[in-house]
Amino acid sequence: MSSITLAPGLVYHPDYLDRSAQEGLLEALRGITRAAPLYTPRMPRTGKPFSVRMTNCGRLGWVSDVQGYRYQPTHPETGEPWPAMPDRVLRAWEELSGYSHPPDACLINFYEPKARMGMHQDKDEEAFDAPVVSLSLGDTALFRYGGLDRSDPTKSVRLRSGDAIVFGGPARLIHHGIDRLIPETSDLLPQGGRLNLTLRRVEKPL
């Protein structure tokens, strides 16, 4: 399994999932979204909608609304518990994270062709010693990453369908985001767009 260290703690795994694995994971995600439909999160305080839709699987799910960012055990619209994580997702954590405890949340973001994600930090978790593992499916995304301060210089890398990237150690709290999608770079999703899965350990192990 090849890997490229983009910065200390930030490791890129191109072509981590082959086509068969991507198709199997996509089918599993279709089942997840039937049980836990994609919804549009909103920014705290302002209520401005995100340009991505999202859902979760695992024991906890990340949500954002006018009340703030948080993890909770139920879908914000249906009130039902989140579906279990697919085996292939758990295997990715085992192979890539180097962490001895399982993830308890997997955030699923769906990017339609015009969607983007502004620069941000993943810092709503307790277990900062655990990395974040990210998997990409669908159209290529221009991924931008910087440092711990928002004003730090940034670099970019193209994340293709099947790629994985891991934020850990000194890179665990770096700013990062998606500038744009590059259309028609994958035929995995029939209508285009991109699915991104981020696996997180939210609570500190006992």
Q: What is the mean pLDDT of residues 40-51?
A: 94
CA separation for the pair 186, 45 (Å, rounded): 36
Biggest CA pair distance of the chain:
45
**Under a CB-based contact definition with an 8 Å cutoff, are residues 142 and 179 in contact?**
yes
Where exactly are the structural domains of the chain? 4-200
Q: What is the mean pLDDT of residues 63-73?
A: 96
So what's the pLDDT on residue 181? 98
CATH class as words, domain 4-200: mainly beta
**How many C-beta neighbours within 10 Å does residue 22 have?**
21
- Of 93, 104, 101, nearest to 61 by C-alpha is 104
Query: What are 88-129's pLDDT values in tens digits?
Result: 999 999 999 999 999 999 999 999 999 999 999 999 999 999
Query: What are 145-186's pLDDT values in tens digits?
Result: 999 999 999 999 999 999 999 999 999 999 999 999 999 999
